[in-house]
Structure 1
Amino acid sequence: MDYDPPFLETYKAFLQNPHSEDTNTNYPSVVDSWEPPIIDFAKLALDQDSRPEERDRMIEATTKWGLFQIVNHEISQELLHSMMLEQMKLFHQPFVDKSPLRTYKWGNPFATNLSQLSWSEAFHICLTDISRMVENQNLRSVEAFATKATALVESIVEILAHRVNIRSRYFRDNCLPNSTFVRLNRYPQCPISSKVFGLMPHSDSSFLTIVYQDKVGGLQVMKDAKWVGVNPNPNALLVIIGDLFQALSNGVYRSIKHRVVAAERIERFSAAYFFCPSDDTVIQSSENNNKPAMYRKFTFREYRVQTGKDVKQIGDKVGLSRFLA
């Protein structure tokens, strides 16, 4: 396909070198499936004193797993379908046309072996840039998704913040349109799907991530020290806790490690909304349960710079362990 990135040509050296694989890596294989807890947003929207059960279930899911599904989220199936069509058109441009775009990324230019090669491509778009791309690329549904996802995330984090004594305006003051992103993902057909990931194992560099995945599936998460598959639910969005919320909550909420397997015969699409702060935002572990701070105080800029250094030096993200107290 003239729109596929040149994976095989670019990473030929890895493919020809039998020692390029990381033998300690658990490559994608048949795994058990898991149905994450389902939270009803319509019930969350009720007065806290009227229906606390759903809020408690959500807090339990973020504390235990770092992941849940949310239904009745007010983002219609029609909008999600329209967004997927826009996404497909965007990715199916010739590679020579999309590759120069600032928002476009593919693979992992810093990979040192096959286990670090992500067989995927993405448009990583700041919310303030979406309006411009609406005119150039006809992404009106993507813009509408971002607007609705912002309202959804703000409602969720307000509940979670209250549980761990974080002031209610912290996120509204620090997570702005110029620091929050939508990432459109495409996972092309992969002839070496048993050797590489669609997206390599990682945890998110965000407070919270909202994910919409198509019916193909392929997302796997680390649960009870083993990988399990998360089957797509057409009526639900996935809510994933990121590194920053784990640090901010002093470890009460868990940042979950996840990956995407590569598919040999079919392409896959997903969209993710990353709720991130401005660079100068201070991440300081909240005081709760008289527990000492797990992480030293740091800014999001420090976190991003350190992550960038690690990726360039070893091909992978290290994450929160760099910021332990």
Structure 2
Amino acid sequence: MTILQVPIIDISGLIAQTNNSADVVADQIRQACQNYGFFYIVGHGVDAQLQQQLENLSQEFFAQDEETKLKIRMAVGGRAWRGYFPVGNELTSGRPDLKEGIYFGAELEENHPLVKAGTPMHGHNLFPSNIPQFRETVIEYMESMTQLGHILMAGIALSLGLEKSYFAERYTKDPLILFRIFNYPPNLSSQSVWGVGEHTDYGVLTILKQDNVGGLQIKSKFGWIDAPSIPDSFVCNIGDMLDRMTQGLYRSTPHRVRNLSRTNRLSFPFFFDPNFNVEVKPIELKDVVMNDDKSDRWDRASVQEFRGTYGDYLLKKVSKVFPELHQKVL
């Protein structure tokens, strides 16, 4: 019996930006994206103390009563699509997820052109006023992740035989940054429950920090496999837009969270996505035949048939995740 394991890639060579070491990392990324759509990264250089502080402050926030947490509920965030939601308020495939969370994004001032234009999913974040350093920690973490996102997209470009600046020049010079902090409450039943149902991510790259509880599962070519916590690592996966750009060479891989734990589980998905207003188009890759097999897509939908901007795609998706909120604010 073969035990499948998501690849672990040391990206320090990519950060050092020496040609040989970057090419080695790019080759590992290519193999991981083609075979799994997921990979762990180590050697990333993200401050461990910052990560621990983020985890501690998040635990402090979710330990509060619901009335206190609802002071920064998503309805208050309006079109910026930011703030807290209670357990069961987020849907995957029409079913409530057994998690609560806070939505964040790039912190934009009121005079920013996109905010002035009323562009959805752009604007101010909502932070709890009663937890010191929460705002500063989240913003610093998002800045670190944004830098890491640029580095990884350069590696993905190299993995496709493109110039390392390919994505930055066309899609991610000014990326759409979305960040979530999720808390999965303890499973006190005798059965497994789904913290998040089967789904794929929407954009190009997700960088996930998870605590040591576990529960993430990935749908490989051979069935579902676990992606447990590995110390000082992040889990990365590609989304629907990279699937479309590569014409299915890099498939966006379904994943889910199976909650078996008797304790709370925290996860911190960071989405590094194309600019909201950019049109997403296929890349002309040598010897690549479009893979548009809908039968193995979790939603039986084709990302290759999509036409339009990333914002168009994203808004269609989020309207299904929070249908009631979508009707009120978007």
Q: Is the 8 A contact 1:128 1:178 kept in 2?
A: no
2:279 maps to what in 1?
Answer: 282
User: 1:167 Cα shift?
Assistant: 7.7
1:215 alignment partner, SS class: coil
Of residues 167-176 and 260-269 in structure 1, the stretch that sits farther from structure 2 once superposed is 167-176
2:5 maps to what in 1?
Answer: 35
2:111 maps to what in 1?
Answer: none
1:25 maps to what in 2?
Answer: none
CA distance in 2, matches of 1:259, 1:141: 27
Which residue, 196, 199, 204 being the options, matches 1:202?
199
Does the alignment pair 1:98 with 2:98?
no
Could you give the per-residue CA deviations for residues 139-180 of structure 1, whole angstroms, max 9, x where no partner exists? 233222211111111011012124254782543664477831
CA distance in 2, matches of 1:135, 1:158: 37
Does the alignment pair 1:215 with 2:195?
no
4+ aligned runs moved over 6 Å, structure 1: 129-132
**Gap regions ≥5 residues in structure 2:** 75-82, 109-123, 293-303, 324-330
Q: Is the 8 A contact 1:131 1:143 kept in 2?
A: no
TM-score w.r.t. length of structure 2: 0.75
1:252 maps to what in 2?
Answer: 249
User: 1:280 Cα shift?
Assistant: 1.7
1:66 maps to what in 2?
Answer: 37
User: 1:68 Cα shift?
Assistant: 0.7
CA distance in 2, matches of 1:92, 1:172: 43
1:44 maps to what in 2?
Answer: 14
2:119 maps to what in 1?
Answer: none
Of residues 125-134 and 156-165 in structure 1, the stretch that sits farther from structure 2 once superposed is 125-134
2:149 maps to what in 1?
Answer: 153
Could you give the per-residue CA deviations for residues 114-159 of structure 1, whole angstroms, max 9, x where no partner exists? x923110111101216776386643233222211111111011012
CA distance in 2, matches of 1:309, 1:186: 22
CA distance in 1, matches of 2:99, 2:322: 19
1:304 alignment partner, SS class: helix
Of residues 241-250 and 296-305 in structure 1, the stretch that sits farther from structure 2 once superposed is 296-305
CA distance in 1, matches of 2:255, 2:12: 27
Q: How many residues align?
A: 281
1:85 alignment partner, SS class: helix
User: 1:47 Cα shift?
Assistant: 4.0
User: What letter is aligned with 2:96?
Assistant: L
Does the alignment pair 1:127 with 2:106?
yes
Could you give the per-residue CA deviations for residues 234-266 of structure 1, whole angstroms, max 9, x where no partner exists? 121111111111111222222111111123511
The RMSD of aligned alpha carbons is 3.0
User: 1:97 Cα shift?
Assistant: 1.8
2:19 alignment partner, SS class: coil
Which residue, 221, 224, 233 being the options, matches 2:221?
224
**Gap regions ≥5 residues in structure 1:** 1-31, 314-325
Q: Is the 8 A contact 1:66 1:253 kept in 2?
A: yes
CA distance in 2, matches of 1:122, 1:34: 31
